[in-house]
């Protein structure tokens, strides 16, 4: 269950369908914003919705495909309290496989790897062109052309 990167705040709709109304209350804010005392960094893709017909609170997550999927729920009739939110957070901490994940560091590492790969590919192209050029010069038999310095050009023995 890998979470994708979430680099910006997500604005959840007031309703999902006709039955689900978003709960916008400070009690549920730590789910998205984090609760350091519980080891939870937060996930802005999480939102609590109330199913109006059943009066059941459900934690939904906006997935990468743009769909909301239920993550956890409280028993029917149970109220949203700081204790119930803390229980949800403790459960999320248990199942979250990306705890400690730093999206900024992941992006920087990815960029550095791409730059290194590009530089290596460019160096390989330079060596190939130099090899072909030196081979052509060695076969040209032109007076005054000495290719014995190949090791100096390529940094290796010929």
CA angle centred on 88, ends 16 and 23, rounded to 5°? 35
Most confident of 15-24, 101-110, 145-154: 15-24
- What's the pLDDT at 1? 39
Number of domains in the chain: 2
Residue 33 pLDDT > 80, yes or no? yes
Residue 46 domain boundaries:
15-95
pLDDT band at 109 (very low <50, low <70, confident <90, very high): confident
Whether the model clears a pTM of 0.75, i.e. scores above it, the answer is no
Question: What is d(CA 128, CA 58) in angstroms, rounded to the nearest whole number?
Answer: 61
Arithmetic mean of pLDDT, 3-24: 78
DSSP state of 3: P
- What radius of gyration, in Å, describes the C-alpha atoms of the chain? 29
Q: pLDDT (tens digit, 9 = 90+) per residue, 35-44? A: 888 888 888 8
82 and 115 belong to one structural domain:
no
Q: Is 86 part of any domain?
A: yes
Measured distance between the N- and C-terminal CA atoms of the chain, rounded to whole angstroms? 53
H helices present in the chain, as ranges: 29-33, 82-95, 103-140, 150-154
91 and 128 belong to one structural domain:
no
- What's the pLDDT at 134? 79
Residue 8 pLDDT > 50, yes or no? yes
For tokens 């269950």, what's the residue?
1
Q: Is 129 part of any domain?
A: yes
23 and 85 belong to one structural domain:
yes
């Amino acid at each position: 269950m890998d979470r994708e990167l979430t680099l910006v705040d997500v604005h959840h709709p007031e309703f999902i369908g006709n039955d689900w109304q978003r709960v916008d209350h400070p009690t549920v804010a730590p789910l998205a914003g984090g609760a350091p005392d519980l080891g939870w960094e937060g996930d802005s893709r999480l939102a609590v919705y109330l199913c109006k017909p059943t009066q059941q609170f459900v934690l939904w997550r906006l997935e990468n495909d743009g769909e909301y999927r239920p993550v956890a729920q409280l028993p029917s009739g149970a109220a949203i309290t700081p204790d119930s939110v803390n229980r949800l957070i403790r459960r999320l901490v248990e199942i979250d496989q990306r705890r400690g994940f730093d999206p900024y560091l992941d992006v920087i590492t990815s960029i550095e790897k791409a730059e290194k790969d590009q530089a290596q590919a460019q160096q390989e192209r330079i060596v190939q062109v130099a090899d072909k050029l030196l081979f052509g010069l060695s076969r040209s038999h032109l007076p005054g052309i000495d290719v014995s310095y190949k090791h100096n050009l390529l940094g290796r023995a010929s």
